[in-house]
Structure 1
Amino acid sequence: MGELATLPVFFDLSGKPVIMAGGSDGAAWKAELLAAAGAHVRLHAPLGELTAEMRAVLGVRFNSGTITHVDRHWAAGDFIGAALAVADCETDEEAARFHAAARQAGIPVNVIDKPAFCQFRFGTIVNRSPVVVGISTDGAAPILGQSIRRRIETLLPPSLTGWARLAARLRADVMERLLPGPQRRSFWERFSDNAFTGKSPDEGDEAAALRLVSQLANAPESGGRVTLVGAGPGEAELLTLKAVRALQAADVILFDDLVSDDILELARREARRMLVGKRASRDSCRQEDINRMMIQFARAGKHVVRLKSGDVSIFGRAGEEIEELRAEGIPVRIVPGITAASALAAGFGVSLTHRDCAQQVRFVTGHSRKGGLPQDLDWPALADDKATTIFYMGGRMSGQIAERLIAEGLPAATPVAVAANLSRADETRAVGRLDELGDIVARVGVDRPLLIGVGRVFSACEANVGHGYAPTAMSRLPARVA
């Protein structure tokens, strides 16, 4: 655990008295917050010092909390029995007196906007009660805290409130019938998958949850499942929210060697991580072994995440894995990712289907099962000047790809684009002509994961040098590829 600037604590204020001082707008917001948490707030301030906002708050009815106005300044005796003390003070001298009185009474104290007189801070809140998220910047940057809150607000659907309440109703059954550890975690993870669908729970969802409890209680291994997750082109910020949730719910992660460390850092800390990547000209894990491991772990009741670079459904051999898992009766689902072709287009700042240049886009494997140039492709169709073609895994075949396309009638001057290590800090991009493709790839490096784009949409790439993912480099031959 790294150093914490402050300790986040969730304090139960239901039915507890809180002393407040000040009739300002800032005090009104804090009084409303405390009463919403069930506190009985005693607000000390002369009537003439109450702002319009404070007067409005005093008229609000809360489910369990209350705000009672006391028409005078606070006194030392008012602190007796209070759970918290909060004040909005104009001067440091007034703040010091309030702070000292609260400390003397042994009560945690907060003076609004005066960190020197605060034992605790409110922070910024995302309310999906009973789910409550608190955000603190330790007073250093409140506006940053608000920006973080806005981002979290978009991640947590309002329907989460209903699912959290359903979880509270189910908790006793789960605690009674499921063993601590994998059984309970399997239930809550599958329950949580539904909680993020944006749909509010109904009686059917509650019945389904109870059935799952019974199923796991009678057959613990039934919690085993596999999720095929697309990790995108490399940059962690391009991972989908659903992919992050899957990583944080995994017991075992079988990942390709093109998956970045930043993405693996988002996974559940206790998850077992196993490299099963396959790369040309390197020792590789056989597909049969990967299938066997997925089945073995899932049968043991584990949630297995098969983490693949790009999108799992594009040249990721997901079809073989899905067939094997279904044949074994193991539940499997897919979480799509951003495919490398989309990252290529973003990096070069082009549209793959610009209506003036291309009426279609094709994703093509750049090598056969035996490692040579694919012979079962419709090469005459690929030589269409009105299409954009993206070759995956075609680095070692780049020269032959260019020769074959030219032989089928595609002009030698057709623009090409090559990118290696897409979306990563060491991404390299280069552009040129089709008849230069082999030289371009040789300079970029055939041992790096790269993508080849062929088509007129790349003709304007020179105007986009420096755009896309940074830091990157791009050049047009014969300039040196950086």
Structure 2
Amino acid sequence: MRPISLLPNDTPARIAPLAKLPVFWNLSGQRVVLAGGSDGAAWKAELLIACGAAVDLYCPPEEMGEAMAELVARQALTHHPHPWHIGSFRHAALALADCETEDEARAFFCAARGAGVPVNVIDKPAFCQFQFGAIVNRSPVVVSISTDGAAPILAQAIRRRIETLLPPALQQWAALAQTLREAVNARLSPGLARRRFWERFVDRSLSTGNAPDAADAAALMADTEERGETPPAGSVTLVGAGPGDAELLTLKAMRALQAADVILFDDLVSAEVLELARREAKRFLVGKRGGRESCRQEDINDMMVRFAKAGKRVVRLKSGDPMIFGRAGEEIARLESEGIAVDVVPGITSASAMASALKTSLTNRDHAQQVRFVTGHSRHHELPETVDWASLAGPNQTSVFYMGGRMAGQIEKRLKENGMEPHTPVVVVSSVSRPQERRWAGPLASLSEAVARIGVDEPVLIGVGSVFGRAAQAGAPACDRACADRKSGLA
């Protein structure tokens, strides 16, 4: 068979096309020409000064705004109280201007180019040889985002997202890394040892909000030397994914997902949350859902132990909060018995998400002095025998039943048998915080009927107590969130 020959145009590109080449330019001690005294020019001046540039400002005093006047008063730059001229560009590394008219912009652009100086005229892309991106500053770590001028607001939105992922202390960790390089090269042999040290250093810097000190680095280096060729130790982090809305995920949870090698996730974890995880991480669905085929808890424990002992960073991703009806105690006990490091990142529990969705305080002081979270089923898929129903039926409290959809009729019956009034306000929320969320509010006497209408295919929360009185009085029939929004004129 004749071999296939690829033409040059058929060869896959190693790098996709770039609108602009991202370059980080050392301006320390370099002269930069800046023309104009507007607020936009002042912002660019502050950016250049932060980079160590020597900024020469050409601007008559009467054309100077307050921000630029403050920089001049602080002597942060050199002020020339007259317009720029051809000689202004001598020995300049960069040239920037804020020009009102196209003719002024063209003149500055051509003069700078004629002097061989890269030029940028603010807000006039046709006269820019380079552009400024949105910046995340953890210097010496600097992240710049560009949309090639097409959508600056999008660049700012991306910057805000990255800001949440990078802990503020990363700046100190990066500075420490600069000072450590020679010591690491002197103490650790090339190859595995150095790579292992820097991998652990990076993991620590991205997973903690604390600034480092010399003791941290020394301990990390000593531990790396001691381990030698021993495979790196793995770890497990139990992470709360919240009720489903990815916007409710904590920053620490996002960082754990970004650092994971392996993710064992529940069936109730939303696709939007999983989208935030590290792309290279291996993912395993180990979900448990009432009334459906489930992964045994013992098997999940074994998987965590196996992956951690293989040196992997394991995230056990649980819906809601790991420590509330999440079997976290069983998993922590098994991991600790195996000598595996385990950490917990809390999440927003469903009851809190429900309270926010309904704009209802679970501890409204006029109605409730305590809140109880109650599991709606036992390991035998029925109501737990140890529940104190007489206490739950008492006044001045709020009770939230988790996973209680299939037991709604029994919950209603037990509460009424123990003295709770049939007109007690109740709410039912299915798939809280998700697009398919459904709600109902009304009296306890209608609870089982309401759950039958909403269905139990999705996770169901049942809230009981007088704090839900306002919602019960509004008492619309069960409908999804989009339907409710349309009725209220929000959609």
Give the TM-score category using the shorter length.
0.7 to 0.9
Q: Secondary structure at the match of 1:86?
A: strand
Percent identity for Structure 1 against Structure 2: 58
> Which whole-Å CA distance do the structure 1 matches of 2:307 and 2:293 have between them?
23
- 2:287 is the alignment partner of 1:277: yes
- 2:84 is the alignment partner of 1:73: yes
> Which whole-Å CA distance do the structure 2 matches of 1:446 and 1:240 have between them?
28
> Which whole-Å CA distance do the structure 2 matches of 1:386 and 1:27 have between them?
61
CA 1:254/1:57 → structure 2, altered by over 3 Å: closer, same or farther? same
Match of 1:12 in 2: 26
Deviations 1:7-57 (A, max 9, x none): 654322234443433455543442342232123444455788667765653
Asked if the contact 2:409/2:448 (under 8 Å) is kept, the reply is: yes
Letter in 2 for 1:164: A
- 2:217 is the alignment partner of 1:203: no
Q: What displacement does 1:393 show? A: 1.1
- From 110, 124, 130, the equivalent of 2:120 is 110
Q: Secondary structure at the match of 1:405?
A: helix
Match of 1:291 in 2: 301
Q: Secondary structure at the match of 1:380?
A: helix
Asked if the contact 2:165/2:255 (under 8 Å) is kept, the reply is: no
Q: Secondary structure at the match of 1:417?
A: strand
Match of 1:39 in 2: 53
> Which whole-Å CA distance do the structure 2 matches of 1:9 and 1:95 have between them?
24
CA 1:264/1:152 → structure 2, altered by over 3 Å: closer, same or farther? closer
> Which whole-Å CA distance do the structure 1 matches of 2:473 and 2:357 have between them?
12
Match of 1:309 in 2: 319
CA 1:412/1:70 → structure 2, altered by over 3 Å: closer, same or farther? closer
Deviations 1:262-308 (A, max 9, x none): 11111111111111101122221111111111111111111111000
Which is further off, 276-285 or 380-389? 380-389
Match of 1:246 in 2: 256
- From 33, 37, 41, the equivalent of 1:27 is 41
Match of 1:329 in 2: 339
Q: Secondary structure at the match of 2:48?
A: helix
CA 1:28/1:347 → structure 2, altered by over 3 Å: closer, same or farther? closer
- Gap runs ≥5 in structure 1: 476-482
Structure-to-structure mapping, 1:80-479, within 5 angstroms: 82-104=92-114, 107-136=117-146, 138-139=148-149, 159-172=169-182, 177=189, 179=192, 184-194=198-208, 196-197=209-210, 200-214=211-225, 217-222=228-233, 224-462=234-472, 471-472=481-482
Asked if the contact 2:197/2:221 (under 8 Å) is kept, the reply is: no
CA 1:88/1:473 → structure 2, altered by over 3 Å: closer, same or farther? closer
> Which whole-Å CA distance do the structure 1 matches of 2:311 and 2:274 have between them?
22
Deviations 1:96-143 (A, max 9, x none): 132234445554321022222123222444443223344556546667
Q: Secondary structure at the match of 1:100?
A: helix
Q: Secondary structure at the match of 2:96?
A: strand
Letter in 1 for 2:41: A
> Which whole-Å CA distance do the structure 2 matches of 1:51 and 1:350 have between them?
48
Q: Secondary structure at the match of 1:397?
A: helix
Asked if the contact 1:19/1:82 (under 8 Å) is kept, the reply is: yes
> Which whole-Å CA distance do the structure 2 matches of 1:252 and 1:155 have between them?
19
Q: Secondary structure at the match of 1:313?
A: coil
Letter in 2 for 1:227: T
Q: What displacement does 1:381 show? A: 1.8
Deviations 1:48-74 (A, max 9, x none): 866776565356577xxx758596633
Letter in 2 for 1:347: A
Q: What displacement does 1:191 show? A: 3.0
Structural RMSD (CA): 3.4
CA 1:237/1:4 → structure 2, altered by over 3 Å: closer, same or farther? farther
TM-score (norm 1): 0.84
Which is further off, 379-388 or 272-281? 379-388
Q: How many residues align?
A: 465
Which is further off, 330-339 or 450-459? 450-459
Letter in 1 for 2:426: V
Asked if the contact 2:35/2:83 (under 8 Å) is kept, the reply is: no
Q: What displacement does 1:89 show? A: 2.2
CA 1:137/1:470 → structure 2, altered by over 3 Å: closer, same or farther? farther
> Which whole-Å CA distance do the structure 1 matches of 2:48 and 2:195 have between them?
36
